[in-house]
Amino acid sequence: MVEWYRCNGEAITLTLHIQPGAKRTEIVGLHGDALKIKLSAPPVDGCANEALLKFIAELFDVPLRQVEIRQGKQSRRKVVLVQGSHVSPGQIIRMAGA
């Protein structure tokens, strides 16, 4: 099975499939080799990217400055880097019930 995340020291790299403009922001589950997340924010003027970064920062319990989009700012498929979290990606999936 291909993992949707990679851990390297204190850095976690996430592969995400984003669906903006949804009714609410939530983790849906796995979508191929990515974690699918629905965002309530619309895909205009960077709103969805900003909402995604805030959502990921909350999930991983880190300040917003420790989360960044590494690839895919204009795409549904994104690679996001999270620095210094003590929350594992496995915990995120279990908490979401995905």
Q: What is the domain-level CATH number for residue 39?
A: 3.30.1200.10
Number of domains in the chain: 1
Domain range for 74: 5-96
pLDDT in tens, 1-14: 568 999 999 999 99
Reduce the DSSP state of residue 54 to 3 states and report it: helix
Burial group, residue 18, by CB count within 10 angstroms (0-12, 13-18, 19+):
buried
Q: What radius of gyration do the chain's Cα atoms show?
A: 12
pLDDT in tens, 63-91: 999 999 999 999 999 999 999 999 999 89
pLDDT in tens, 17-56: 999 999 999 999 999 999 999 999 999 999 999 999 999 9
pTM over 0.85: yes
Q: Which spans in 1-98 are helix H?
A: 47-59, 89-96
pLDDT of the residue at 31: 92
Using the predicted structure, report yes or no on whether residue 95 has a pLDDT greater than 90: no
Burial group, residue 19, by CB count within 10 angstroms (0-12, 13-18, 19+):
middle
pLDDT band at 98, cuts 50/70/90? low
